[in-house]
Amino acid sequence: MGYQFAAVLAFAVMAVLFALVVLMVGRLLRPRFPNDDKLSIYECGERPVGSAWYNFNPRFYLIALVFIVFEVDIALTFPVVVVYAAWIEKGLGFVAFVELILFTVVLLVGLAWAWGHGDLEWIKKLSESPRKTDRSGLVAPTARPGV
Amino acid sequence: MRITLGLDSTSLSRRYPRLAILATLFMAFGLPLGLYVAALAVFPLNTPERLDAMAEQWLGYDLAGSPYRYIVYTAFLLLVAFIAVNYTAVFGGVSTWVERRVAGRMQSRIGPNRPGAAGFLSWVADAVKMILKEDTIPAEADHLLFRAAPYFSMVGLLLPFVVLPFGEATVVTDMNVGVFYVAAASAFVVVGILVSGWASNSKWALFGGIRGAAQVMSYEIPAGIAMMVPVLMAGTLSMQGIVRAQGGWPWQWFVFQNPAAFVAFFIAVTASLAEGNRTPFDLPEAESELVAGYHAEYSGFRLAIFLMVEWANMWIMAGLAVTLFLGGWQVPGYGAEDYARLLGTGLLPAPGWFGLQLLSMLMFVVKTWALVFVFIWLRWTLPRVRVDQMMSLCWKYLVPGAFLCFVVTLVWQLLVPPAGVAFTGYALTALALFVLAKFAVATRRNISKVAGHRVDLGNW
Amino acid sequence: MNTQFAIFVFLALATLIGAASVALSRNIFWSAMGLLSCLVGVGGLYVMLSADFVAITQLLVYIGGVLVLILFAIMLTSQIQEISVSNRSVGLVGGYLIFFVVSTLLSFVALWAPWRLTSKEPVANTTVALGDGLLGTWLLPFEIASVLLVATLVGAIVIARKEVKSDS
């Protein structure tokens, strides 16, 4: 098993090396004439207004939270799923079945709760809120939420 | 300042048409074939025991007891990784050409046709061009993170190749946790997207990066749950184990052996399209609203790395679906005992073994390319979805659907006897063939309804 | 053996340097990058203990989930653009005190605890062992884990929903 993960390490190293070598070779070949306009940040041809490092809509944070819960669910379920066939052969399939069903149903109740309370709606807030948000769901730069 | 060497590929291929055809044939068939053969020659040897045995028998060198053994192993692993990284680069390039040609046909235009025969060498020209382009880094960006982000994406791309089986023996390593590992490897892609979006210090890039991260994360959930269906049916997480649990004929594939798996296949493919940021889910780089999304500020070869990752990801998406649901490398009519018989016990297997191995790789490659074509057709057929549609598709349809498939498979595995599974295999295969035939007939009828149009495959 | 030791040192250094930069970096985003290095290092250490499933879970949940969550949270911090403000050192004396007490305690534990050394072979297929364990000995904790997850889900949504409402 150590060797298998050594392969993972080797692949990661090779991925970095590949990009590095090509970029290094390119460095010798490519032109380099920087000027202020070229190095400015693209903002539809205008001079950029302020920095882009400002706050955005916390809805994305909510998605990440929900994601972690389901990801832990997947990580916990995978080992049981792997031995499911073996337990059926052992004649204990019903134990595994009841356990997995219970586990899944409890989690689905959580999902249904979030759905029922409208937390899976993406644009609900758009119609309710007086402040304009753009299509991407990001609050406009001047809004500065959380300040 | 313009440098002309009189060597630009267009005029070259005009002046020497025969050379162009030869170069195209070499790049189109010689290069991939060479990589497949190299993979077949190198990948099966990739365990310490086999390397030790090989050194013992051929060189008379006791590698296992040698102080240099870890250096040899490392060099060998890097060789394996080198083959894989070249394969991703070549596939990424070739698939851009295929995509542009298919798009051209679908939109009644020609597509790239200058360098090489049928414009095939345009991907090589693109790569050379990208290397030679000036590489600008915005003055106000976070320079170090801006440079680091493409490496994250590249690592995220290459990691799944460690367990992706190309053939019966052609797999880098067959991990016990294979499927789980592939699901986890996309973590680096998320980090790469988020870091590139943030480091650019550009509004477009930040929007694209955050959107991309949210999208890839969300769709990891239905993909992960749908992957559990073949794992349930095979009873193992190892990719080779899952392929071995299927057979060569379509009715022995997991996708047709269980109605829930049939649905799970479509859920998994949709989710992986979204994870790979392919249209109709290419919201992170929706050019109509976000310019180029998270790679808006990138130029030159750093941009090329992001694009290569995106296209080469198609191979992983398609290859994973083929492995889990469509029988992987299994050759119809050949079972495990045929491989074992041809392998024999000697040091070198019989020539027939190599033939069979190449055949199994051919099966995998053909199926995977077929799926890649489906991805390309989807891209040029469907419009892009909106953010809210993307999110509700994931959380309201795919996640509950995937859970339903999971539960149905639990019941199916518990209650349905092998005869029922075999019958379902035949029935669903027949159904799929029937639908395909209906589709072909309908397409033909639609085309012939337009005056002067007919099915024409000649103008490639 | 030497190679293994070299890899161990490499992973331990990645973990330690990552952890140090989480605490010491003045740029909060760079702290998160330090956390990435730290988490990857810990995952590698799990592999060295032949816990492959746990290592992959580390990659899936901690890097794919928790780290991205933290990156999102960083982008939600107010005044992220003024980096010097966002990461000021507050309460240096207390910080150093806690650091010295905790690190001394941990070093004592690491050095003098009677760690049990087993000469057992590593488990060949940890996933199967885990699955059997979750269906046998640990059946009840497994089910309780699902309730815990739902509680987390509901709690997180309720708290975060307040935030979403308050600023939209």
Q: Which of C68, C72, C75, C86 to mutate to test the interface with B (most CBs of B within 10 A)?
A: C68
Contact A104 B407 (CB under 8 A): yes
Question: Considering only CB atoms, which chain C residues are within 8 Å of B65?
Answer: none
C26 vs chain A: nearest CA distance in angstroms? 16
B109 vs chain A: nearest CA distance in angstroms? 30
3-state secondary structure of B293: helix
pLDDT on residue C7: 84
Evaluate whether residue C154 is within a structural domain: no
Question: Considering only CB atoms, which chain B residues are within 8 Å of A135?
Answer: 289, 386-387
Evaluate whether residue C132 is within a structural domain: no
User: Which residue in B138, B220, B407 is closest to A39 by CB distance?
Assistant: B138
CA distance B255 to B434: 16
CA distance B122 to B132: 15
Q: How many domains does chain C have?
A: 1
pLDDT on residue A134: 47
> In whole angstroms, how large is the CA radius of gyration of chain C?
20
pLDDT on residue C85: 46
B236 vs chain C: nearest CA distance in angstroms? 9
B51-65, B116-130, B394-408: the lowest-pLDDT one: B51-65
Residues 366-425 of B with CB under 8 A from A: 386-388, 391-392, 395-396, 399-400, 403, 406-407, 410-411, 413-414
In this prediction, residues B350-363 reach a mean pLDDT of 85
In this prediction, residues A19-44 reach a mean pLDDT of 82
The string of DSSP letters for C76-140 reads HSTTTTSHHHHT----HHHHHHHHHHHHHHHHHHHHHS-PPP--PPPPS-HHHHHHHHHHTTTHH
C-alpha of A92 from chain center? 37
Q: What percent of chain B has a predicted confidence (pLDDT) above 70?
A: 92
CA nearest neighbour of B169 among B438, B353, B367, B303: B353
pLDDT at A108 over 60: yes
pLDDT on residue B368: 93
pLDDT on residue C138: 85
Per-residue pLDDT for chain C (168 aa), expressed as one digit of tens each?
A: 577 788 889 889 999 999 988 888 777 778 888 999 999 899 988 888 888 888 889 888 888 888 888 888 877 765 555 555 445 566 778 888 888 999 899 999 988 888 777 766 766 778 888 888 888 888 888 888 888 888 888 888 887 766 655 554
- 10 Å CB burial of residue A113 (0-12, 13-18, 19+) is middle
CA nearest neighbour of C59 among B364, B160, A82: B160
Would you place residue B454 in the very low, low, confident or very high pLDDT band (cuts 50, 70, 90)?
Answer: low
CA nearest neighbour of B215 among B165, B282, B266: B282
Would you place residue A132 in the very low, low, confident or very high pLDDT band (cuts 50, 70, 90)?
Answer: very low
pLDDT on residue C119: 64
Instruction: Say which CATH class A42-143 falls into.
Output: mainly alpha
Contact A7 B231 (CB under 8 A): no
pLDDT on residue B217: 84
pLDDT on residue B294: 80
Q: Which of B3, B46, B73, B155 to mutate to test the interface with A (most CBs of A within 10 A)?
A: B155
CA distance B350 to B341: 9
Interface confidence (ipTM) of the complex: 0.84
C65 vs chain B: nearest CA distance in angstroms? 8
CA distance B365 to B167: 9
pLDDT on residue B23: 80
CA distance B166 to B369: 13
pLDDT on residue B226: 92
A28-32, B224-228, B325-329: the lowest-pLDDT one: A28-32
Question: Considering only CB atoms, which chain C residues are within 8 Å of A5?
Answer: 44, 47, 52, 55
Query: pTM of this prediction?
Result: 0.85
Contact C56 B213 (CB under 8 A): no
Q: Kindly report the number of other CB atoms within 10 A of residue A92's CB atom.
A: 13
Q: Which of C7, C8, C62, C71 to mutate to test the interface with B (most CBs of B within 10 A)?
A: C71
Q: What percent of chain A has a predicted confidence (pLDDT) above 70?
A: 73
Chain B residue with CA closest to C1: the answer is B70
State the count of interchain CB pairs (< 8 A) between A and B. 228
The string of DSSP letters for B333-379 reads T--HHHHHHHH-SSSSPPHHHHHHHHHHHHHHHHHHHHHHHHHHHHH
Dihedral of the CA atoms B280, A41, A33, B302 (nearest 10)? -30
**Conformation bin of residue A140: beta by default, left when phi > 0, alpha when psi is -120 to 50:** beta
Higher pLDDT, C51 or A133: C51
Question: Model confidence over B312-346: pLDDT tens digits?
Answer: 888 999 999 999 999 888 888 888 888 777 777 66
User: Which CATH number is C9's domain given?
Assistant: 1.20.120.1200
> In chain B, where are the structural domains located?
1-132, 140-416
B444 token code pair: 């033909």
Q: Kindly report the number of other CB atoms within 10 A of residue A44's CB atom.
A: 8
Which whole-number Å values give the CA distances from C63 to B217, B313, C18, C40, in the listed order?
11, 20, 14, 8
> In chain A, where are the structural domains located?
42-143
Question: Considering only CB atoms, which chain C residues are within 8 Å of A119?
Answer: 157, 161
pLDDT at B434 over 90: yes
Contact B73 A43 (CB under 8 A): no
Contact B78 A94 (CB under 8 A): no
Which whole-number Å values give the CA distances from A99 to A87, B3, B147, B369, C143, in the listed order?
12, 70, 48, 40, 7
Question: Are the C-beta atoms of residues B38 and B30 closer than 8 Å to each other?
Answer: no
B424 token code pair: 């379902």
Higher pLDDT, A60 or B268: B268
B406 vs chain C: nearest CA distance in angstroms? 16
Amino acid at B412: W
pLDDT on residue B402: 92
Q: CB contact, 8 Å: B70 with chain C? A: yes
Question: Model confidence over B269-303: pLDDT tens digits?
Answer: 999 888 887 777 777 676 667 777 788 788 888 88
CA nearest neighbour of C56 among B190, B185, B158, B163: B185
> In whole angstroms, how large is the CA radius of gyration of chain B?
24
Chain mean pLDDT for chain B: 83
